[in-house]
Amino acid sequence: MSRILTSSEIAIVDENSSYLGVERKILMENAGAEVARFIMQNERDLSSKLVIVFAGPGNNGGDAFVVARHLAPYAKKIIVVLLSDEEKIKTTEARANWDIIKNMKLTIDCRLINKHISPSESVNSLPRPDLIIDGIFGTGIKGEIKEPIRSVIEWINNSGATIYSIDVPSGMDPDTGQGKLYVKPVFTVTLHSKKPFMAMQHPEITGKVIVRPIGAPVESEIIAGPGDLKEVLRYPSKIKEVHIIGGTKELRNGMKHLAAKLNLRVIENEIEKHEYELIADETMFTNIFDKAKAKDRSIYAYYAGMKKNEIDIDYAEKLKRISSEIGWPIYECGGPDYITDGRRLKMNWIEPPIPNEQYFGASLLISALFISSGADIIYSLAGATFLVRKSLRELKQAFTFDDFSEVVAKHLMNYR
């Protein structure tokens, strides 16, 4: 993919890839293998070279463990330094790969540097390497860099080795390119897609940046899936009431019934009619074209009927063009549920389609919750439509709207 993805968008891709069947362990294996492949192509002969791999406890460290395993048959010696306690490795995928390289006693020397050991003494006791692999932080970096990682990054930068950073130079914010202390690589091998830091930092800071695929499907960016829902659930809900003007009886009942489960107040205005406006804070959802054009924060959202759950990519691209031309998002509920802001496109062809306007109303209400909390509009719409469709699938047999509302409310319990 050529699109530049932020750290939160990469997290969505990872989650949605797993939903599509490409599990995280496969993505980690592919990531590490691609980085190792680039290093071997670039270095050509590793047989006389000492390689030190620095790994954090997260998935970037997991990628680094895989790199070490792939380089092990070719390098003179490989030392892997985990900058954490073993029990603090964060994911099952990273832990599995740590356990593998720990067992590779003939080719890999595994060591620990953590807060219980003097960082300067530990890192200064290491031999001077020819190559350093930086797998300390990935796209999930947050906050100030503390010991022992501070001393390690300073040592890396002063080592004189050829430095390869995995995904992003450790210590650098992938979305802004900022950082008070970060690794200064010769090469950065960034994964799946371009990242914002590439356009925000000079090459002498990031080194030469190479983008490598990791096997995440293109569909993982497009599908409205659990990654979108997980992203918007990070934002705490703020609104306590929404206003609805017009709307069919079905639409209004869907909103009111679910709102009662979520302790939200629905204020109704005007008589029931096909046209509607749902207002939450400063955001308006409407199926009135001219109304949408009149407001800055508006979404043209309408129910297109119980269509087949089949993708019409030409039609989706047409909606995308229309959205780009008019300058506000479109949400067509029905069939695969097309969602677009003219730049991004979301839909779901896996879960059962939304059957009528009652459930459309529920999706609008959930979207309003997410958007009013500050979440991105497109991911809010995608997360809401996925939650509705997922809840429909979970119910399986004959059920009432009350049953559906209970399932949705349970999913949102911690959020509310």
Distance CA 46, CA 166 (A): 19
Q: How far apart are the first and last CA of the chain?
A: 35
Nearest to 247 by CA among 283, 267, 277: 277
pLDDT bucket at 145, cuts 50 / 70 / 90: confident
SS3 227: helix
Distance CA 107, CA 120 (A): 26
Distance CA 377, CA 360 (A): 17
The architecture CATH gives domain 223-411? 3-Layer(aba) Sandwich (3.40)
Per CATH, domain 7-219 is 3.40.50.10260: yes
pLDDT of residue 259: 96
Question: Stretch 98-120: mean pLDDT, rounded?
Answer: 89
Distance CA 9, CA 165 (A): 20
Distance CA 34, CA 210 (A): 11
Q: Where are the domains of the chain?
A: 7-219, 223-411
Q: Is the pLDDT of residue 416 over 80?
A: no
Considering the chain, what percentage of its residues have pLDDT values greater than 90?
A: 82
Q: Do domains 7-219 and 223-411 have the same CATH topology?
A: no
Distance CA 386, CA 363 (A): 9
pLDDT in tens, 74-107: 999 999 999 999 999 999 999 999 999 999 999 9
Q: Which residues contact 158 (CB under 8 A, 6 or more apart)?
A: none
pLDDT bucket at 200, cuts 50 / 70 / 90: confident
Which amino acid belongs to residue 31?
Answer: A
pLDDT of residue 236: 84
Nearest to 141 by CA among 171, 181, 166: 171
pLDDT bucket at 1, cuts 50 / 70 / 90: very low
Written as six digits, the tokens of 327 are 């300058």
Nearest to 242 by CA among 270, 210, 283, 299: 283
pTM here?
A: 0.92
Question: Stretch 185-214: mean pLDDT, rounded?
Answer: 93
Mean pLDDT of the chain: 93
Question: Stretch 345-362: mean pLDDT, rounded?
Answer: 97
pLDDT bucket at 294, cuts 50 / 70 / 90: low
Question: Stretch 264-286: mean pLDDT, rounded?
Answer: 92
pLDDT of residue 307: 87
Q: Is the pLDDT of residue 271 over 90?
A: no
Distance CA 141, CA 134 (A): 14
